[in-house]
C-alpha cells in the first residue's frame, strides 16, 4: 500500500514538473517574440546600411553599425543562454563542480572582462578582506558575479561608482555588489527572484526577467543565499553568503 502511495506521489511530481516545463517553454516563446524583435531589427538595418558605406572616409559609420550588430547578437545570445540555464535548473541538470580558487584574482578577471560594458565615467571599485582562497564552482560563481555586475552597470548612470566587496571569514564567503542606480521598490523586491519578473521601473530597458532567478538558484546550488537591499533612486546592493565546509 505504501509503495502504491509513493508511486502515486512520484507520478504527481513528474506531471507537475512536465506542466511547469511546458509553461516555461510557452512563456519563453511569448517573451522571445517580443525581446528578439529589437535586436533582430537592429542587425537587419545595420547590415543593410553597411553596404552603403564603401568609401574610406565612411569607415567611422561602418564601425558604428558593426558595433551595433555585435551588441545585438550578444543580446540575443544572452537571452538564449538565460532560457537554457533555467531549463537545466528546472530539470535538475546543473552539476556543481567545486574547485579551489583565488577569489580576488577570479573577481578581478571578471571586472576586466566587463570593462567595455561600462558607461562613460563609470568606475568599478573592488576590495577583498581575509584569505583569498576558497572552494566553489568557478563557472557558476562567474555567472553570478557577471550577471549582478552587468545589472549594476546597466541600471547605474554615467560617472557613477560600483562597489564590489568579497570577504572570507571563518567558514563563510561574503560577496557584495553595490551601485548608485535607479533602485528597486519595496513591492518589486518581494518578487525579484521569480521567473520572468521585471521591476516596474525597468520596462523600457531590454531584459528577460530571468537573470536574478538564475542567480538565486545558482547560489542555492552552492549552499548560498542572496539578499537585496535597495531604494528607488538611491541604488541597489546584492549580498551573497556562501557557507564553506570545515576543510574549505
Q: Supply the pLDDT for residue 22.
A: 66
Distances (CA, A) of 22 to 12, 19, 48, 63, 168: 15, 5, 38, 42, 41
Residue whose C-alpha cell is 539578499: 227
Distances (CA, A) of 161 to 44, 121, 135, 154: 35, 9, 29, 12
- CA pair distance 175, 168, nearest whole angstrom: 9
DSSP 205: S
Alpha helices in 123-210 (DSSP H): 138-154, 186-189
- CA pair distance 89, 148, nearest whole angstrom: 19
Contact residues for 163 (Cβ-Cβ < 8 A; gap 6+): 125, 126, 127, 176, 177, 178, 179
Cβ–Cβ under 8 Å, residues 83 and 35: no
Strand partners, 134: 101
Helices 103-113 and 138-154 cross at an angle (nearest 10°) of 50
Q: Supply the pLDDT for residue 29.
A: 65
Cβ–Cβ under 8 Å, residues 140 and 218: yes
Comparing C-alpha atoms, which of 60, 58, 149, 66 is closest to residue 106? Answer: 149
- Domain 99-243 of CATH type 3.30.420.40: no
- Domain 2-90 of CATH type 1.10.565.10: no
Least reliable range by pLDDT among 26-30, 60-64, 123-127: 26-30
Mean pLDDT of the chain: 85
Determine the average pLDDT of the residues in 166-181.
Answer: 94
pLDDT tens column, 100-155: 999 999 999 999 999 888 999 999 999 999 999 999 999 999 999 999 999 999 99
Domain ranges of the chain: 2-90, 99-243
Residue 19 phi/psi, 5-degree rounding, is -65, -45
pTM comes to 0.76
Amino acid at each position: 500500500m505504501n509503495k502504491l502511495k509513493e508511486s502515486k506521489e512520484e507520478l504527481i511530481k513528474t506531471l507537475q514538473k512536465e506542466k511547469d516545463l511546458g509553461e516555461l517553454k510557452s512563456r519563453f516563446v511569448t517573451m522571445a517574440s517580443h525581446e528578439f524583435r529589437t535586436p533582430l531589427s537592429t542587425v537587419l538595418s545595420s547590415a543593410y546600411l553597411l553596404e552603403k558605406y564603401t568609401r574610406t572616409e565612411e569607415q567611422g559609420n561602418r564601425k558604428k553599425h558593426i558595433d551595433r550588430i555585435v551588441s545585438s547578437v550578444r543580446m540575443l545570445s544572452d537571452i538564449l543562454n538565460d532560457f537554457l540555464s533555467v531549463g537545466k535548473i528546472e530539470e535538475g541538470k546543473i552539476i556543481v563542480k567545486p574547485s579551489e580558487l583565488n577569489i580576488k584574482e577570479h573577481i578581478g578577471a571578471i571586472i576586466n572582462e566587463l570593462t567595455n560594458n561600462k558607461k562613460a565615467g563609470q568606475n568599478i571599485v573592488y576590495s577583498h578582506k581575509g584569505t583569498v582562497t576558497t572552494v566553489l564552482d568557478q563557472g557558476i560563481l562567474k555567472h553570478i558575479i557577471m550577471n549582478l555586475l552587468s545589472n549594476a552597470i546597466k541600471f547605474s548612470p554615467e560617472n557613477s561608482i560600483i562597489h564590489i566587496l568579497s570577504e572570507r571569514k571563518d567558514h563563510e564567503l561574503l560577496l557584495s555588489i553595490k551601485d548608485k542606480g535607479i533602485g528597486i521598490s519595496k513591492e518589486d523586491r518581494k518578487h525579484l527572484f521569480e521567473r520572468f519578473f521585471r521591476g516596474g521601473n525597468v520596462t523600457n530597458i531590454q531584459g528577460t526577467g530571468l537573470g536574478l532567478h538564475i542567480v538565486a538558484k545558482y547560489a542555492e546550488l552552492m549552499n548560498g543565499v542572496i539578499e537585496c537591499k535597495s531604494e528607488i533612486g538611491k541604488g541597489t546592493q546584492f549580498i551573497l553568503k556562501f557557507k564553506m565546509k570545515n576543510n574549505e
